[in-house]
Structure 1
Amino acid sequence: MIDIEATGPLNTIQDLGRPGYRNIGVTACGAMDTLALSIGNILVGNTPQAAGIEVQTFPFRVRFSARTAFAITGADCRATLDGIGVPPWWVAQAEAGQLLELSPPLKDARAYLSLAGGADVTPVMGSRSTSLRGGFGGLNGRVLATGDAVATGAATSTFLPKGGFGVVPPAVALKDVFPAGEGGALTIRALPAGEHDLFGADAERFWSQPWKISARSDRTGYRLSGDPIHPLETVEMRSHGVVPGVVQVPPAGEPIVQMSDANTAGGYPKIAGVIEADLWRLGQARIGSMLRFVPATHAQARAIERALGAYIDDVRRTARLVSQALSTVA
């Protein structure tokens, strides 16, 4: 169990989401950076479905009430355990009474705290993810508050070296697959969507211009600021299903990218769909940052998925080998 000693708005318990209920209007929720949470769970020996804590407002401080393995992934939040630095993308052991503190990251938006055994809250519709709009899941359907106690489930036997160990962050390990953006703008790959051609010449401007993530953005969707784009004629559309990554264009002409808490349906025309392998990068983009959309093909999207899968498999092998090697001398 951990006790929350300092937190801020929007820090929640999340897992990989609640699929299968969009047809009845229930959004999937889940981590904005599913890759970071997945790696954290691997490092502490959890199942892929285990829940962790998504931290996007800082400082965040927790005290451990028992000996617990934990991992910090996602944004480099300059973590410390009793004042001693804990590197990013790292797993370590905390003793009872120790204090873990996460500070505002210098870049990226969200850090993930994974605990051995996972955050043990009651599953709702097969998931422990917090739905803030629905008021369910997580810890009573709300953000974490100072004074909260978060229980952990039964942990598997995982052996860690003294001081822990880390993995190469995906942005470094896969720098050829996820290239840095030009001019400070994040490059996000997407496929043209159903109403793409209705925008005529404005469709080209969607791809060519930089877009700024506006302050009106949240876990439901990123609203983008830039030179507005419009269809060639007014389009009257019935509401249709949407999922994370869909880029819709409302009448004002500034796109909205659906994110983890994406609406289940909407009637705005769709100009593009972000490839799934780039959603974790978008989930780490900060308010006010710039991005550019780059057209991708289905073949390219599949190749990026394979590279990402290979990275995850390599982390899983590394964690298993470290634990097995230490178990033989324990």
Structure 2
Amino acid sequence: MNTFGQALRVSTFGESHGVGIGAVIDGLPAGLEIDEEFIASEMLRRAGGRNLYATQRKEADEVTILSGVFEGKTTGTPLGFFIQNSASKSSDYATIQNLFRPGHADFTYFCKYGIRDYRGGGRSSARETSARVAAGAIAKLLLGKFGISLRSGILNIGAIVGKEIDFENAKKSEIFALDKQVESAQKEAILQAREAHDSLGGVALISAKGVPIGLGEPLYHKLDSAIGALMLGLNGVKAVEIGLGVESSKLRGSQNNDEMDAKGFLSNHCGGVLGGISNGEEVVVKVHFKPTPSIFVPQNTQDLQGNAVRCEIKGRHDPCIAVRGSVVCESSLALILADMLLLNATSKLENLQKIYS
């Protein structure tokens, strides 16, 4: 199950320490201009090796388009691209090839398949998300034709909770912090965890503005259920909220309902989705990441033979996967909205060919 989407189908391939990562995007309409500089800028947002708050694995992440584009525009055929792995260091994993790393997919992959790629987790590594960001950048180019824009940032790091939402600050912040008032404390918490050879969890907030009314297919391909499914498919994600999310369970209906007047909605507690269908308001999603499981604190585990052993991990890992994960979440939401947009294109939205003519 390496493909997601219905009208816009994305199939990713590759492993953390293999030759590279890539994807095939099927369903893109012909005539969409492909801005390779924009794709590169999106890859840079996700890139590691830029500061102490992320992994020191520094990949070039150059996206090479293999098919589906001619003279800078999509042809309507499958768009394939490849991202070479140029900075893998497989020797870091030699000592744990016969162990199951705590908090990782090693145990479940081995039990399911009888084999696993121990080099950075292989297919289960977050390295795969580089393909999602590249595909998401292309989806954003499509969404931009409809006036849909996306933003993201970090709301919480560990127990340090952000209250203000400032996407302009997130653009400038080394950790994409939304609340400038707690940014320094959040950065210090990440550094302290790193120095202790440990890690922290965090919460990313993603917003989509300009989403038209009507995206989402009841009952089994609702917009919010598609968001939840794809976000929970990301490495380390343990919970997803739409709008007020879990806070709505603490309220009365009179507090939670979004009332309307002649101009539209008076609030957006629902996060832009009602009955699984977009209502024209801002789509607001919170994504909760667990602490990075790759830590340098010795831990108890099993080996392949079921013996109790100690595990000591080496390598280059994010002290807080939520930081770069926020960019992946934004890309994922772009892919979901592009898919929903194309599903609706024949009946509710302006003909795509008119937009590209």
* Higher fraction of helix: 2
Shared fold, TM over 0.5: no
TM-score by structure 2 length?
Answer: 0.26
**Structure with more relative contact order (C-alpha pairs < 8 Å, separation 6 or more):** 2
TM-score by structure 1 length?
Answer: 0.28
